[in-house]
Chain A
Amino acid sequence: MTQVGTFTIINELGMHARAAAKLVKLAGSFSSTVQLEKEGQVADAKSVMGVLLLCGAKGSSVTVRATGEDASEAVEKIGALIADRFGEPR
């Protein structure tokens, strides 16, 4: 099954290198395929370069699309990571 969720990047530096690395690590922990989409550009959420190349700056809106057994958990957890500003202090 496929799950979709759209989230806004709220941390100061956006999906920068360290944040992208965290997201990729998290996405890699799911068996589902996970894709990120920003303004029509699609990236494999398990590829750090792919995520970085989306240039998800603060304020941009990112859609997470997961397909597989743990799809809903993947979307939920990735959404939570984004909402948690990738664990960065405010």
Chain B
Amino acid sequence: MRTLFRGFSACAGTAVGSAVVISRGRAVRKTPAGDIAAEHQRLAEAMEGARAELTNARAELAGHDAELVLNVHLMMHGDDLLARAIKRRIDDEGVSADWALRAAVDELKSPLLASSASYFRERAEDIEHVGQHILRHLRGETLTLPNGGNVLVTHELSPADAVQLLSTGNVEGLVTATGSARSHTAILARAFDVPTVVGARGIVSAVRDAERLIVDGTNARVIVGPTAREADEVAARGARYRAYRSSLVSEGGDAVSVDGVEVTLRANVELPREASRAVRCGARGIGLLRSEFLYLDADEPPSEDAQVAAYREAARAVGDVVVVRTFDLGGDKLPSGHRLGHSRNPALGLRAIRLTMWRGSLMRTQLRAVLRAAHQHEIRVLFPLVSTVSELRAVKVLLEECRAELRDREEPFGDVAVGAMIEVPSAALQVCAISEEVDFLAVGTNDLIQYTLAVDRSDPRLAHLADPLSPAILSLLHSIRVAAETSGRPVSICGDVATHPLALPLALGLGYREFSVPPSALVFVRECIRRVEVKQLAEMATEALTLRTAAEVKALIDATVGDALRTLWTEQGIADPVSPI
């Protein structure tokens, strides 16, 4: 029988497959320990095994948000309190390690469950995950999946289990009964780009193993026992997506419009594992390497050698240009272990190039690493949050000093093109002068919108004001493009504008020919470009620049490209192109 479940979208996309139901908990019976010493040995081995698995999982996610989750779990695994509580039970009660673990976990959870703050009650789940993980090792169970076509259905996955299962590439979709878009499972699902619906209440008991179901992450729903037609449609969509993606690899990454205009697509990359996905999706190199992934949650800044290795690895993985954006730290992205002092207004405070120039050694180390990595690879360096010409001049002096240092050390290094992010209104207004200082420009539309429209992008109540299609933003995008052309400097867009169904055609019309987008958006952006006529978009852009409200701009774009792009929007599950994907 066909049943519909609703939940929250954790990762967009649609998948059809057969259910693999993982029900909660493994029942544990109270059994006496045959041999106390042997139980201690089993426990030590299981804790060791679980820790090793978690350490691997953490390496897989280096730099990602989810790494922090795994860090906490790792600390819990190594926590004396837990180990002591289990050992004490084995000794005092003479029970098996399994039972001692179960009882210790329950005891540790109880004060959290009794807390009035929901946050602490949720943390009981973390302790449960840690316990279940050790229990799995105690019993020598491994997580295995049938080959292909699996949709996991479960209450909630522990981070360790999630990494273990999702990294097999054997999971088409994921549904959990609990959790929210902010939960660990959701973060991991996005990192592995697996269509996921979380918080689908009642799903676990309603689905049998091997039952067919559809996970529609785009519209936050799950269809158990879909009609043959529904299942075929979803399967066909998935097959088209995969076929299209593999054709990209052979064709190369350029996107060409109906009237033959070539556009260069690169990828924004944070996690190392994303680089290879970017290549599979046809990216021509990395247009934005968020280098702070090396830094977050580390107590010390990454060493020069560690950075050189990371940049080389990225260049090897993509076999093309890598644009390293220098650490974009501070503001809402604070590194751990660093006291930066308080800022009343972090968005306007000591962040990005301001922070790395203030802590000059941060900038120097990174510049030397970039220069050295450029010895055998095409590496460019991009400075975030530039707001004045003087800042650029200062950083160029530093770059020259770094070259001299490397020469003294007789360390080989290569040429590095220098770029400025245009994401502060002052830089946008002075873009002619700035472009003369650098080799290339990159427009960071997210910050440019936030600063120009004076809207905090994290406040949902203000979302309607943070409109990428507002005439003020169009005007800036237009003048940046003109200035770049006048000074002969290439310019790219690397914010959400490049993936917005309506803003992308407009940017093409304004003359932008280079975009850097998340790997998961590459296919969509490329397909948009292949369906539009740039000459027509240029006329549309000229008219758009005369309009006075974002609503008028949207109506114009919709009227111009709606016919060409509507199927694509529907295919991608974008019901309302006015809101971004």
Q: Which residues of A contact B (CB under 8 A)?
A: 13-14, 16-18, 20-22, 24-25, 41, 44, 47-50, 52-53, 55, 57, 84, 87-90
| Chain A positions within 8 Å of B123 at CB level | 16-17, 52
Stretch in B78-86, B164-172, B199-207, B320-328 with 4+ CB within 8 Å of A: B78-86
Selected from A14, A47, A88, the residue in CB contact (under 8 A) with B119 is: A14
Please determine whether B115 and A57 come into contact, CB atoms closer than 8 angstroms: yes
Q: Tell me if B576 is interfacial: C-beta within 8 Å of chain A.
A: no
Please determine whether B117 and A48 come into contact, CB atoms closer than 8 angstroms: no
| Chain A positions within 8 Å of B119 at CB level | 13-14, 16, 57
Task: State how many residues of chain B have any CB contact under 8 Å with chain A.
Answer: 29
Q: Mind listing 20 A-B residue pairs with CB under 8 Å?
A: A16-B119, A16-B120, A16-B123, A18-B68, A25-B299, A41-B111, A44-B80, A48-B72, A49-B127, A50-B79, A50-B81, A52-B112, A52-B123, A53-B81, A55-B120, A57-B120, A84-B339, A87-B334, A89-B334, A90-B342
Known: A16-B119, A48-B75, A55-B117. 11 other contacts (CB 8 A): A14-B119, A14-B120, A22-B336, A24-B75, A44-B81, A49-B108, A49-B127, A50-B81, A53-B112, A55-B115, A57-B115
| Chain A positions within 8 Å of B80 at CB level | 44, 47
Q: Tell me if B332 is interfacial: C-beta within 8 Å of chain A.
A: yes
Please determine whether B115 and A21 come into contact, CB atoms closer than 8 angstroms: no
Hey, what's the 0/1 contact readout for B486-514 against A, CB within 8 Å counting as 1? 00000000000000000000000000000
Selected from A17, A24, A47, A57, the residue in CB contact (under 8 A) with B126 is: A17
CA distance A13 to B182 in the complex (A): 15
Inter-chain CB contacts under 8 Å: number: 65
Ranked 8 nearest A-B pairs via Cβ: A55-B115, A48-B75, A57-B117, A17-B72, A47-B81, A49-B81, A55-B120, A49-B79
CA distance A45 to B569 in the complex (A): 53
| Chain B positions within 8 Å of A22 at CB level | 336
CA distance A90 to B80 in the complex (A): 33
Please determine whether A89 and B346 come into contact, CB atoms closer than 8 angstroms: yes
Please determine whether B339 and A14 come into contact, CB atoms closer than 8 angstroms: no
Selected from A14, A20, A25, A50, the residue in CB contact (under 8 A) with B117 is: A14
A17 smallest CB distance to B (angstroms)? 5
Please determine whether B339 and A48 come into contact, CB atoms closer than 8 angstroms: no
Kindly report which residue of chain A lies nearest to residue B341, judged by CB atoms. A84
CA distance A17 to B71 in the complex (A): 10
Selected from B72, B76, B81, the residue in CB contact (under 8 A) with A18 is: B72
B127 smallest CB distance to A (angstroms)? 7
| Chain B positions within 8 Å of A84 at CB level | 339
Kindly report which residue of chain B lies nearest to residue A85, judged by CB atoms. B342
Q: Tell me if B147 is interfacial: C-beta within 8 Å of chain A.
A: no
| Chain A positions within 8 Å of B144 at CB level | none
Kindly report which residue of chain A lies nearest to residue B339, judged by CB atoms. A84
Q: A44-B81, A47-B79, A48-B76 are in contact. Are A89 and B126 (CB under 8 A)?
A: no
Please determine whether B75 and A53 come into contact, CB atoms closer than 8 angstroms: no
Q: Tell me if B116 is interfacial: C-beta within 8 Å of chain A.
A: yes
Kindly report which residue of chain A lies nearest to residue B109, judged by CB atoms. A53
CA distance A35 to B119 in the complex (A): 23
Kindly report which residue of chain A lies nearest to residue B130, judged by CB atoms. A49
Kindly report which residue of chain A lies nearest to residue B79, judged by CB atoms. A49
| Chain A positions within 8 Å of B117 at CB level | 14, 55, 57
A20 smallest CB distance to B (angstroms)? 8
B300 smallest CB distance to A (angstroms)? 13
317-373 of chain B: CB within 8 A of chain A:
332, 334, 336, 338-339, 342, 346
52-93 of chain B: CB within 8 A of chain A:
68-69, 71-72, 75-76, 79-82
| Chain B positions within 8 Å of A44 at CB level | 80-81
CA distance A13 to B123 in the complex (A): 12
Kindly report which residue of chain A lies nearest to residue B72, judged by CB atoms. A17
| Chain B positions within 8 Å of A50 at CB level | 79, 81
| Chain A positions within 8 Å of B81 at CB level | 44, 47, 49-50, 53
| Chain B positions within 8 Å of A20 at CB level | 72
CA distance A52 to B112 in the complex (A): 8
A5 smallest CB distance to B (angstroms)? 18
| Chain A positions within 8 Å of B342 at CB level | 90
CA distance A57 to B117 in the complex (A): 7
For B80, B81, B82, the residue with the greatest tally of chain A CB atoms inside 10 Å of its CB is B81
| Chain B positions within 8 Å of A90 at CB level | 342
Please determine whether B334 and A21 come into contact, CB atoms closer than 8 angstroms: no
CA distance A44 to B120 in the complex (A): 18
Please determine whether B339 and A53 come into contact, CB atoms closer than 8 angstroms: no
A55 smallest CB distance to B (angstroms)? 4
Hey, what's the 0/1 contact readout for B116-144 against A, CB within 8 Å counting as 1? 11011001001100000000000000000
CA distance A53 to B105 in the complex (A): 12
CA distance A52 to B342 in the complex (A): 26
Q: A24-B75, A44-B80 are in contact. Are A53 and B108 (CB under 8 A)?
A: yes
Hey, what's the 0/1 contact readout for B247-259 against A, CB within 8 Å counting as 1? 0000000000000
Please determine whether A49 and B336 come into contact, CB atoms closer than 8 angstroms: no
| Chain B positions within 8 Å of A21 at CB level | 71-72, 75
B79 smallest CB distance to A (angstroms)? 5
CA distance A89 to B336 in the complex (A): 12
| Chain A positions within 8 Å of B346 at CB level | 89
For A13, A16, A52, the residue with the greatest tally of chain B CB atoms inside 10 Å of its CB is A52
| Chain A positions within 8 Å of B108 at CB level | 49, 53
